[in-house]
Amino acid sequence: MSKTGKRAKLLPFDAARYLRDDEAIAEYVSAVLETGDSDLLILALGDIARARGMAQIAKDAGLGRESLYKALSPGAKPRFDTVLKVARALGVRLTAEAA
């Protein structure tokens, strides 16, 4: 408890709060891609979209706002072309290199 006798309120962690510049976003996506976890990639794209503004990203990707939310929701399995459209709208390039 604090000095006033009130409990401190903790907020849940939200990665979108820390994705303020292109460098942070690139590092985040690179780290996620290294895991090879497709669900984590969808979660990361959702974090970045929230940081940049869902409505604008949906427009830039040629998707409806609700469709974007659905595609990036936990457990979603969006089509690969949808993932590419969202990544492009976010200014994120998914790259490949020899293993």
Residue 71: which pLDDT band, with cuts at 50, 70 and 90? very high
Does some domain include residue 77? yes
Q: How much is the pTM?
A: 0.84
Collapsed DSSP state (helix, strand, coil) of residue 27: helix
Judge whether 4 lies within some domain.
no
Evaluate whether residue 85 is within a structural domain: yes
Does any domain span residue 69?
A: yes
The number of folded domains in the chain is 1
32 within some domain: yes
- Asked whether residue 7 is domain-assigned, the answer is no
Residue 46 located in a structural domain = yes
List pLDDT tens digits, range 14-49.
999 999 999 999 999 999 999 999 999 999 999 999
Q: What is the mean pLDDT of residues 45-54?
A: 96
Query: What is the Cα–Cα distance from 9 to 44, expressed in whole angstroms?
Result: 26
- Give residue 81's domain range: 20-90
What is the average pLDDT value for the chain, to the nearest integer?
92
Tell me the pLDDT band of 95, cut-offs 50, 70 and 90. confident
Predicted pLDDT at 99? 76
- Please check whether residue 36 lies inside any domain of the structure: yes
